[in-house]
Amino acid sequence: MATDTAELLKKVRRIELKTKGLSNQIFSGEYHSAFKGRGMAFSEVREYSVGDEVRTIDWNVTARLGTPYIKIFEEERELTVILVVDVSASDSFGSVEQLKKSVITEICAVLAFSAITNNDKIGVIFFSDKIEKFIPPKKGKTHILRIIRELLEFKPENPGTDISMALRYLNNVVKKRSIAFLITDFLDNDYETSLKLANKKHDLVALNIYDRRENEMPKIGRVLFSDPETGEMNWVNTNSRKLRQQYAERAQMREVHIKEACKRAGVDVANIATNESYIKPLRNLFSKRS
């Protein structure tokens, strides 16, 4: 047990060193410009000047004083960030360099360090086809290291994926408007309505984590395929050109469905492959929102 704990702490430390450095050097400023300023709080009123936005006029104060006054807003100093993390069995898949779970853990750590650098609270919802765990939002390095530990060692009770259920829970449990990152491989079907509803209450961003073998089937003869979420096993002849083509076409259709569903819901989405660096897609996402 002591050895397991020591090994876990080493893993936490390695992830902390890598992701904290990335956050400080690369993402912190871009995170700030992408998300700060979207939460605006009322500060005070002042007398109207030519050129001010008419829609900011405070009609109650104007009526009381007999001269136009406008509301002054300032950037909220503190935001709440919620990571909505898919921990279903499919996250244990990875064919090239890293498992999806490893990539998700690093991305969550980068976002967490970016959040505390900007003095924001951060919380996590772990979900499969049920809510597996909720860590309420807090600040501080100790809190982030706890999140990283949970990401590394968490074992879900259920294997499936239910994105809609997770987003309903987000809306119910997090009352204040937050920045919510949905981090999943989207191995689910009916989630578009929930994306729309969650994005109305929160500022929702989607990160689609995928492995290239989910998009293309290698030609390696007869292979026993296992579905990690259902446990179903089937022998597949990967030498069949028709089968490989159908596999690729279904993957492409799924990719288009994710993109279109997010677009209709007004949700920004970044696609992140397990065999590539997540730095570029995250930076592109942040730049797009700045």
pLDDT number for residue 193: 96
Domain termination site, one of 75, 100, 126: 75
100, 30: one domain: yes
Per-residue pLDDT, averaged over 179-204, amounts to 94
**Is there a single domain that holds both residue 121 and residue 56?**
no
Quote the pTM value: 0.78
Within 10 A of 90 (CB to CB), how many other CB atoms are there?
24
Q: Give the pLDDT of residue 145.
A: 93
CATH code where residue 258 lies: 3.40.50.410
What range does the domain containing 52 cover?
40-75
- The HSE-up count of residue 41 (CA atoms within 13 Å, CB side) is 9
Tokens of 213: 């073998």
122 and 112, same structural domain? yes
12 and 44 fall within a common domain: no
Tell me: do 164 and 46 sit in the same domain: no
Total tally of structural domains belonging to the chain? 2
pLDDT digit string (tens) for 17-62?
888 888 876 676 788 778 865 555 556 788 888 878 787 888 988 9
The predicted pLDDT at position 181 comes to 97
pLDDT of residue 18: 84
Nearest CA to 89 out of 185, 190, 160 is that of 160
Q: What is the DSSP string of the chain?
A: -HHHHHHHHHHHHHHHHHHHHHIIIIIHHHHHHHHTTSSEEEEEEEE--TTS-GGGB-HHHHHHHSS-EEEEEEE-S--EEEEEEE-SGGGG--SSS--HHHHHHHHHHHHHHHHHHTT-EEEEEEESSSEEEEEEEE-SHHHHHHHHHHHHH---S-----HHHHHHHHHHH--S--EEEEEE----S--HHHHHHHHHHSEEEEEEEE-GGGT-----SEEEEE-TTT--EEEEETT-HHHHHHHHHHHHHHHHHHHHHHHHHT-EEEEEETTS-SHHHHHHHHHHH-
Same domain membership, residue 60 and residue 8: no
Clarify whether residues 29 and 54 are in a common domain: no
Q: Check whether residue 92 and residue 71 sit in a common domain.
A: no
Statement to judge: residues 142 and 64 lie in one domain: no
Same domain flag for 86 and 144? yes
Assess whether 69 and 168 both reside in one domain. Answer: no
Pair (164, 257) in one structural domain: yes
The predicted-structure confidence for 141-164, as pLDDT tens digits, reads as follows 999 999 999 999 999 999 889 999
pLDDT of residue 192: 95
